[in-house]
Amino acid sequence: MTDKPEAKESQIWGGRFSRGPSAIMEEINASIDTDRRLWREDIAGSKAHAHMLAACGIITDTDNAAIQNGLDQIAGEIERGEFAFSKALEDIHMNIEARLKEIIGEPAGRLHTARSRNDQVATDFRLWTRQVCGEAEAALKALMRALAKKADAHADAVMPGFTHLQTAQPVTFGHHLLAYVEMFSRDAGRFADARRRMNESPLGAAALAGTSFPIDRKQTAKALGFDRPCANSLDAVSARDFALEAVAAAAIAATHLSRLAEELVLWTSPHFGFVKLSDGFSTGSSIMPQKRNPDAAELVRAKTGRIAASFDTLLIVMKGLPLAYSKDMQEDKAATFEGFDALALALTAMTGMIDDLEPDRAAMKEAAGRGYSTATDLADWLVRTLNMPFRDAHRVTGAIVALAEGAGVPLDALALSDMQSVEPRIDENVYAVLSVEASVASRASYGGAAPSNVKREAERWLATLSKES
C-alpha cells in the first residue's frame, strides 16, 4: 500500500503532478485547522474581488451574481456549524472555493481570475489583524475607564510609593492607578498606529508580479475598507510586518498588564493588605482553608509569556525569507492568533479585577507612614526654610532619620530637641510637612501625586474616554 495516492481532480495544483502527496506531506502542508478562522475575511475578499471582476468586464454579471449568492450560502453554513472542512483541501481558501463549485458549478472557477492564494491570504490576514487591533484598542480603553473611575473614587487615599520595592514617598492610590492609564493609553495608540499603517490592500497583486487582466485594485481596496492598494506587488504578498507590529504592540501591552497583575498579587497578600478581591476573582486551596489566591492576576501575569513568545515566533519565521512568498509564512497566523487570543482574555480579566477590587484605605495609609517616607519632605523643608543646599539637607535629614529609627518612632513623632541636636535652626513648623497627608498634598507640580491633581486627571480621562466610546 503506497503512501502516495494518485492525484485527485480536487487538488488545485495537481495538473503538474502524476502522484498525490504523501500522508505526512498532506499533514504538514495543511493549514485549515489554523486558518479556518479567517473564513469571514476570505468570503469578504472574494465577494469584493468578484464584484470588481464584473465591473471591469472580466466576468459576467450573471457569474458574479451566482458567486455572490454561493458565498452568502457558504457563510451561513459556517455560521451554523454545517460546513465540512477538509484537510485535503489544505486551507480556508480552497475549502470555500471547492464548496462554491459544488453549489454553483462552473462560475466558481472564474472567481480566482486575476488573483493568487498569495495575495488572497495576505488580504485575509490584514483584514483579520486590522480587526483585532481595533478590538484590542477598545478593550484597553475599557480597562482605562475602569482604572480612571477607581482613581477618581480614591484620589486622596494615601499609600506608599515604592522604588526597589522599598518604601520611598507617599502617593495616593488614585495616582498609582492613573500611571497605568497613561501606560495603557500608549498601548492603545500603538494599536491605532499599527492599524493605520497596515491599511493597504494586497488584493490584485496576484502571485507576486501583478496581473495582465485590467483589474481595478482601488475598487477592491475601497470595498474592503482599505485606504489604498499596496503600491508594490512583491511587497504586497511578502510583507508580514503589519502582523509583527501588531503582535509587538500586544507584547508591550501584555508587559504592562503583567506589572499591574504583579502588584495585585502583592497588594492582596496579608503582608500588604492594600486591596481585596471578591470571590469572583479569587480561588481557594485544596488543603489550606484560609487561603484566598489571586489566580486571575497570576494568570494575566503568565499570559505575557505566551504573547511575547508569539512575537518571537513570528519574528523568527520571517527572518531571512527572500521575496516573495515562502511556505514558511503559513506559520505566521498561528502565532498571531494565539497572541491576540491571550491578550483579549488578559484584558478582560484585568478590567474585571479593577472593577471588582476594593482598597483598604486605612492599611495603605498606615503603610505609607512606615519606612520614613516623608524624609524627602523634611529635606525639602530645610532647603526652603533654612536656605540649605540640598546635599547638606540630605545629610542632615539622614542623621535625623537615624535618630528616629534608633528611638523607634516615625519622623513626625520625633522630639524637636532631637532634631535640633542635628540642626539647631529647625523649629516646630517642621511638623507641618512630616505627615503623609501633608506630603502628598504638597506634590502639586504638574503630574504630581497631590489629590487635587489626581482628581482633575481622573475626571479628564473619564471625559476623554467617554467621548471616544
Active site residues: 164, 285
Q: How far is CA 434 from CA 92, 412, 419, in A?
A: 68, 5, 13
The DSSP string of 214-270 is: ---HHHHHHHTT-SEE-S-HHHHHH--HHHHHHHHHHHHHHHHHHHHHHHHHHHTST
Burial class (CB in 10 A: 0-12, 13-18, 19+), 235: middle
Residue pair 329/317 in contact by the 8 Å Cβ criterion: yes
The phi and psi torsions of 373 (rounded to 5 degrees) equal -70, -15
Strands 358-359, 158-163: pairing kind: unpaired
Q: Count how many Cα atoms sit within 13 Å of the Cα of residue 209 in the half-sphere of its side chain.
A: 2
Residue pair 449/161 in contact by the 8 Å Cβ criterion: yes
Cross-strand partners of 164 = none
What whole-number distance in Å separates Cα of residue 35 and Cα of residue 371? 56
What cell does 160 get?
506608599
**Which is nearest to 238 in space by CA: 351, 325, 115, 133?**
325
What cell does 296 get?
486571575
